[in-house]
Amino acid sequence: MKKASLAIILMIAFSLISLAQDYRGKGRVVGYVRDKDGNPIEGVTVKLFSLKVQRGFAVSTDKKGKWVAFGIISGGWNVDFEKAGYVTKKIFVQVDEWKKNPEINVAMEKAEGLLLTDELKESLNRGNALFEEKKYEEAAAVFEAMLEKYPDAHILNKNIGNCYANRGLGEKALEWYAKIEFEKIDNPVVLYNVGTNYYNSSKFDEALKYYRRATEIKKDFLDALYQLGLTYLTLGQHSESISTFENYLKIDPDSERAGQVRGFLDVIKKK
């Protein structure tokens, strides 16, 4: 009985192994990935998916931008090219096991923002989960490792900065925030958070820039409007402070903070 059971298990295992590799054949495909200037791109993940058996596998490009897929079956294959910092490229190729297949040359374009590959998304989710658990040092380590592997993922500087900010290391946080290209930040909450870190460090000119941009993007962002008014006031720019606080009251005329804003306006207008 035991021998029979063992035989069944071995048959199932063999079947699973065979099924997992049923895209195997005698075909071979060679390709190169380069940027728009013809320079090779190393570390591109090349995902190959057989339409015939609905299975596939992945390889990576070397320092020459070269990748090779060998021992595969004939038929149509979807091929995806992924690398952080580049726009994903998708192509279709027809493979012939019995002939020499044409060399595949692909050009990838630099991405304007952060495009998430599966690998990068997994790491990002892990780092975010640690951050939500308030394990800021561990989260920062994950984000820094990602940035080392994907140096074009500049937005990770914000994540790392947030980790330091929540550990009370304001100056260290600002070092990371300063690495973010200001013109590329279009999230008002991020702008507000960075501005607040500058404000708390008494770097009011920098804080002003971020608060102002946050309120330009989201005109009814009450927290940002309030902080913008305070920053103008701190810098002695009274007319700008009055205008900002008056805009605040148009959106929020009745809250407790609105009373504070009216108090500020009374004081400023008497000067």
pLDDT digits (tens, 9 = 90+) for 92-147: 999 999 999 999 999 998 865 555 666 777 888 899 999 889 899 999 999 999 88
Cα separation of 13 and 116, whole Å? 35
CB atoms within 10 A of CB 74: 17
pLDDT recorded at residue 193: 81
Look at the alpha carbons of 134, 136, 141, 142 in this order and tell me if their dihedral is positive or negative: positive
CATH number among 3.40.47.10, 2.40.170.20, 3.60.15.10, 1.25.40.10, domain 118-269: 1.25.40.10
State the average pLDDT over residues 60-77. Answer: 93
Look at the alpha carbons of 107, 110, 113, 118 in this order and tell me if their dihedral is positive or negative: positive
Looking at domain 23-107, does it have CATH number 2.40.30.10? no
Contacts of 201 (CB under 8 A, 6+ apart): 170, 171, 174
- HSE, CB side, 13 Å, CA atoms: give it for residue 76: 6
pLDDT recorded at residue 117: 65
Contacts of 186 (CB under 8 A, 6+ apart): 217
Look at the alpha carbons of 140, 141, 146, 149 in this order and tell me if their dihedral is positive or negative: positive
- HSE, CB side, 13 Å, CA atoms: give it for residue 109: 6
The answer to whether residue 3 scores a pLDDT higher than 80 is: no
Quick check: 69 and 46 in contact, CB under 8 A? yes
pTM of the prediction?
0.51
**Domain residue limits, the chain:** 23-107, 118-269
Q: What are the residue ranges of helices labelled H in the chain? A: 2-20, 118-132, 136-149, 156-165, 170-177, 188-200, 204-217, 222-234, 238-251, 256-269
pLDDT recorded at residue 222: 92
Cα separation of 73 and 48, whole Å? 12
66-72/104-107 β-pairing: unpaired
The answer to whether residue 32 scores a pLDDT higher than 80 is: yes
